[in-house]
Amino acid sequence: MKKMLTLFVAVTFVSLTAMVAIAENKGPAEVKMKASMGDVTFDHAAHQERVTDCATCHHTGMDSGTCKSCHDAKPEAPKAKKAFHKLCKSCHKKESGPTKCKACHVK
Ligand code: HEC
Ligand code: HEC
Ligand code: HEC
Ligand code: HEC
């Protein structure tokens, strides 16, 4: 009985630790995206503060890989340029973020 309890406590502890580790994976603070127009430096950490729902951008969930594993890779997903422009600019229009080409694309 005592052994079972010890095992139960150990298993609970391990799974709780794993859950905390997953919850804390916020990804990189900054993402550099290559573009011929000039590279885009995306402040991921700042956007996580501004946009509380991760799914606003991570619309397929957190375990489905990077955006570009589908966008520019799978035919059913719109091209990255189109998808990113739509996502980034539509929010920026609403919430007065940058909408000019050169505010995002820096050579
Ligand atoms: C809110 C930020 C933002 C603004 C404003 C913006 N872009 Fe982009 N653009 C991006 C992002 C992010 C990508 C995706 C980069 C990638 O594919 O990795 C992109 C991709 C592109 C691409 C395709 C990538 C390439 O190498 O050719 C082109 C062309 C482009 N943008 C042109 C423009 C032009 C022209 C404007 C202004 C009318 C503009 N962008 C405004 C963020 C922006
Ligand atoms: C405004 C859009 C946006 C928001 C909001 C956002 N992210 Fe991201 N996130 C991105 C982009 C763009 C990348 C770049 C990597 C990619 O291409 O998938 C990224 C990358 C990541 C990565 C690395 C993924 C990988 O496989 O390389 C993790 C982890 C992540 N984000 C977690 C989060 C979490 C957790 C939240 C919410 C607290 C969040 N993100 C909110 C846009 C966003
Ligand atoms: C597992 C594949 C997959 C991943 C990963 C993925 N997407 Fe998508 N995305 C799609 C597909 C398929 C569509 C088109 C159907 C739909 O709207 O669900 C789409 C649609 C979109 C749209 C709407 C485009 C439009 O023209 O209406 C945006 C914006 C978008 N994705 C942004 C992102 C961003 C940003 C990331 C990374 C944080 C990402 N996606 C990750 C598959 C994916
Ligand atoms: C749901 C809302 C939302 C989405 C989606 C979003 N942004 Fe923003 N972003 C903002 C707001 C709000 C600001 C302005 C913050 C300020 O001026 O205080 C901003 C500011 C910025 C800036 C100026 C520098 C900075 O971080 O303050 C850049 C560059 C930028 N965003 C790039 C992007 C790119 C690239 C994407 C798409 C991958 C994106 N944003 C998606 C809300 C958003």
Determine if ligand 3 sits within 6 Å of the CB of residue 64: yes
Dihedral sign, CA of 72, 75, 77, 79?
A: positive
Q: Rounded to whole angstroms, how far apart are CA atoms 8 and 11?
A: 5
Q: Where are the domains positioned within the chain?
A: 28-106
Most ligand 2 atoms within 8 A of CB, residue of 57, 85, 92 to mutate:
57
Per-residue pLDDT of the chain (107 residues; tens, 9 = 90+): 566 655 555 555 555 545 555 556 899 999 999 999 999 999 999 999 999 999 999 999 999 999 999 999 999 999 999 999 999 999 999 999 999 999 999 99
Phi-psi region of 65 (alpha: psi -120 to 50; beta: other; left: phi over 0): left
CATH class of the domain comprising 28-106: alpha beta
